[in-house]
Amino acid sequence: MAALGEWHCEKRPFAKNESFARDNENVPENGCLSIIVLGASGDLAKKKTFPALFNLYRQGFLQSNEVHIFGYARTKISDDELRDRIRGYLPHGKDATEDVSNFLQLIKYVSGSYDDPEGFQALDKAISEHEMSKNSMEGSSRRLFYLALPPSVYPQVCKMIKNYSMNKSDLGGWTRIVVEKPFGRDLASAEELSSQIGELFEEPQIYRIDHYLGKELVQNLLVLRFANRFFLPLWNRDNIANVQIVFREDFGTEGRGGYFDQYGIIRDIIQNHLLQVLCLVAMEKPVSLKPEHIRDEKVKVLQSVLPIKDEEVVLGQYEGYRDDPTVPDNSNTPTFATAILHIHNERWEGVPFILKAGKALNSRKAEIRVQFKDVPGDIFKCQKQGRNEFVIRLQPSEAIYMKLTVKQPGLEMSTAQSELDLSYRQRYQGVVIPEAYERLILDTIKGDQQHFVRRDELKAAWEIFTPLLHRIDNGELKSLPYKPGSRGPAQADQLLERAGYVQTHGYIWIPPTLS
């Protein structure tokens, strides 16, 4: 990675081949690559992991002459049966038919239990046969294990990998594992899980994936903050009134009620996705773009967060959630939560960071909304129209826009709210924004841990939310009912108002249409 001062600023989007040529400079050439998807017959693997691998293959990041993909699960099916299950989640167009067919031929399936030495010995044998067929020297090959599995089986699976499926020696090759969230339910369970995995693998081998860190607009945060001069003097408590990081879905748990009820919206979204975004918004400038320097600054932010106060939390549960037969009738699990965090440091003292997430709401979006303070000495009498805001729309309709006050066209001196708008669909026509999982899997192959969660970072995140979660689990905080299709409990808007957020009335950002 280049140092910050050596960051290469492009004035136009890369074409696919250019992007590949540049990124692929860091990919080792010696030793073939084996990607092993554990839990290959599950939903996550079919809907996310395999489609991401296909897109990397189609763009040339995975070469058929050096990569092979292995699926491993308990289900007893053949290679072709697994391929048929995956096929339905890959592109169907005529131009994709040949690529899909060639990609599926790279996939081999091995069946076995997750605690069975024989199964992992059979897996190791299949991988070794592939490596020998590519004339890879023993120990020079690369093995990437993607655990698309429940966290409860991580320790036993990691133990099987360590004992039966590792590279036999080190001649430039490696073994890496990717683990999915949730990483535990609270601080104690997360630390236990980290210890169990940490006894088997070194930290540079462990990639704790949080797919929000792979989103295009999230990855743009460091560039926006540290490559643009005009943000530097503004990005502090002297100018910023509050920061909102919001995740909204317009549908409920959709048949996943029993699974969701074990975790709730805070464990599912806020403690990981939104907190990671908060770190990037609030962190200090790192020494360089090296992964450890960036992650050091993120940990400092987390360690500066003050304990969450009950009066600065609103929980909600949408009406009808308990109608799901897999959800207990007396469930208090929140499907909505707003929590205000305070960062105790020189830059952010007194600025509320509002984390808000919910299901079955009136819209679907994820965004970062930085609201600036009022202009002192308002000679235009326009404060009631709303404050300046810098908004990063993460999904859908990816965009970055600045909401500001301008003169209304005409003979009179009247003002109106408008925006400076960078909408990706309009500005970068024809450029396909990669899915988060594509980027993160490629980072894993390259050995770049910048967009993955380090162990001490995970611990600091759980230290923030564990006390609150235990109070919720013990019934000390109750979830308020709200109607599906609403904004959530009215008390949440009241909490935002008390925190100093000023809502703009009469202005709605509309994504521009392509002309």
Catalogue the active-site residues. 273
| Residue pair 53/445 in contact by the 8 Å Cβ criterion | no
Cross-strand pairs, 416? 406
Question: What are the distances in angstroms from CA 287 to CA 5, 33, 187, 344?
Answer: 10, 33, 29, 22
Half-sphere exposure of 266 (CA within 13 A, CB side): 28
**Inter-axis angle of helices 187-198 and 455-473, to 10 degrees?**
150
State how far the Cα of 345 lies from the Cα of 282, in Å rounded to an integer: 10
Going by the DSSP 8-state scheme, the letter that residue 448 receives in this structure is -
31 closest CA partner among 161, 166, 139, 125: 139
Which residue reads 């409990």 in tokens?
489
State how far the Cα of 343 lies from the Cα of 400, in Å rounded to an integer: 25
Q: What number of other Cβ atoms are within 10 A of residue 491's Cβ?
A: 14
Secondary structure in 3-state letters for 260-294: HHCCHHHHHHHHHHHHHHHHHHHCCCCCCCCHHHH
Residue 71, token pair as written in the block: 């699926």
State how far the Cα of 300 lies from the Cα of 284, in Å rounded to an integer: 9
Q: In a 3-state reduction of DSSP, which class is residue 481?
A: strand
Residue 54, token pair as written in the block: 């296909």
Residue 11, token pair as written in the block: 């004035």
**What stretches of 210-335 adopt beta strand conformation (E)?**
240-248, 313-318
Cross-strand pairs, 38? 72, 147
Query: What's the CA dihedral at 320, 326, 331, 334 to 10 degrees?
Result: -70
With 0-12 / 13-18 / 19 or more C-beta atoms within 10 angstroms meaning exposed / middle / buried, residue 421 is: middle
Residue 371, token pair as written in the block: 């609201």
Phi/psi class of residue 201: alpha, beta or left (left: φ > 0; alpha: ψ in -120 to 50)?
A: beta
Q: In a 3-state reduction of DSSP, which class is residue 406?
A: strand
**What stretches of 249-388 adopt beta strand conformation (E)?**
313-318, 336-342, 352-358, 365-372
> Across the chain, which distance is largest between two alpha carbons, in Å?
83
Residue 503, token pair as written in the block: 């809502």
Going by the DSSP 8-state scheme, the letter that residue 452 receives in this structure is B
Spell out a b/e string for 172-203, using b for 16 or more CB atoms within 10 Å of the CB, else e: ebbbbbbbbbbbbbbbebbbebbeebeebbee
Amino acid in the structure at residue 308: I
